Amino acid sequence: MPSTSAPTAAARPGADERLARLLAAPGRRDRLTHVERVAARPGVVDAWPSWAHDELVDALAGSGVTAPWSHQVQAAELAWAGRSTVVATGTASGKSLCYLLPAVTAALEGDGTTLYLSPTKALAADQLRAVSELRLPGLRAAA
């Protein structure tokens, strides 16, 4: 299951100092119009979508992902329905699962091919490794 702990203000020492440094450059302070601190809140897990391929769900559970976050299910449902979808969350928050659920399910059902374009070689290599480690029969990932 995904970790339910979220960073707290205490876990981010120096947030005020980092903001002050960013604003120290000439002209930046005048452009800042609002600062808001949002308190951490616990993550919410959801059930796997009914259309998610059983072998994929089993492989994900075997890799430690026993339940998806609600934002992953929402994004995956939109993508599965053919809707353009943007997910903007922090690093290591599970954005990849948002596209992997529909993309891998379609591939396993023989209904699709996914072209994944990555902004960096490191991210592409990480995604290739993650898909390859699922070891799903009939799923071929290449770079």
- Rounded to whole angstroms, how far apart are CA atoms 70 and 143? 30
pLDDT score of 93: 86
Angle at 105 between CA 100 and CA 106, to 5 degrees: 105
Q: 64: alpha, beta or left, given left = phi > 0 and alpha = psi -120 to 50? A: left
**Number of alpha carbons in the 13 Å side-chain half-sphere of residue 32:** 13
**pTM, entire model:** 0.73
Q: For residue 8, what are the contacts with CB-CB under 8 A and spacing of at least 6? A: 40
Q: Which of 121, 119, 130, 58 is nearest to 92 (CA)?
A: 130
Q: Of residues 4 and 128, which shows the higher confidence score?
A: 128
- Kindly tell me the number of DSSP H helices and DSSP E strands found in the chain: 6, 0
Q: What's the pLDDT tens digit per position in 6-51?
A: 445 454 447 788 888 888 888 888 888 888 888 888 989 999 999 9
Could you list the beta-strand ranges (E) of the chain.
none
pLDDT score of 8: 52
